[in-house]
Amino acid sequence: MNIGQTSKRSGLPTKTIRYYEDIGLISPARGANGYRDFSDTDVHKLQFIARGRALGFSVEECRQLISLYEDQNRASESVRRIAKDHLADIKVKMAELQAMHDTLSELVTKCAGDDRPDCPILKDLAGTNKT
């Protein structure tokens, strides 16, 4: 099937699919006219990648996961390791976001939000508040 159809089925933009070919994640066949000709397996692989990306795995992690997926003899421990590492990253990011959120929402609450130039948000950013 052509790239347009593949795009619809995988939910990935055509540009992204071509990019994934560029970096060697997939290697679709080519027709006589030079068009890419995707198999169901290709589509499946793209869906796999799309799912992994949606879970926040990097493209390189997806590459690892695919090769593990295609290796019948791999240990599930390898996969679990990647997932667990990733989970740890997610936890760190969530904590950081939480801290940002708390600070910012406190500042927004304190800010009058009117036409007066006195603004606690800027004061805080400038470090004027020694709290």
Q: Would you count residue 64 as binding a second copy (CB under 8 A)? A: no
User: Given the complex with DNA, which of 82 and 120 has the nearer CB atom?
Assistant: 82
- The contact mask relative to a second copy for 90-109 (x = CB under 8 A, - = no) is xx-xx--xx-xx-xxx-xx-
Which of a second copy, DNA, none binds 29 (CB below 5-8 Å, type-dependent)? none
Distance CA 57, CA 109 (A): 35
Q: Would you count residue 117 as binding DNA (CB under 7 A)? A: no
Chain center to CA of 4: 22
Do 66 and 45 contact (CB within 8 A), yes or no? yes
Q: Which bin fits 127, alpha (ψ -120 to 50), beta or left (φ > 0)?
A: left
Q: Would you count residue 76 as binding DNA (CB under 7 A)? A: no
Cα–Cα distances (Å) from 25 to 8, 14, 42, 54, 66, in that order, read 18, 14, 10, 17, 9
User: Given the complex with a second copy, which of 34 and 116 has the nearer CB atom?
Assistant: 116
Which of a second copy, DNA, none binds 106 (CB below 5-8 Å, type-dependent)? none
- The contact mask relative to a second copy for 2-31 (x = CB under 8 A, - = no) is ------------------------------
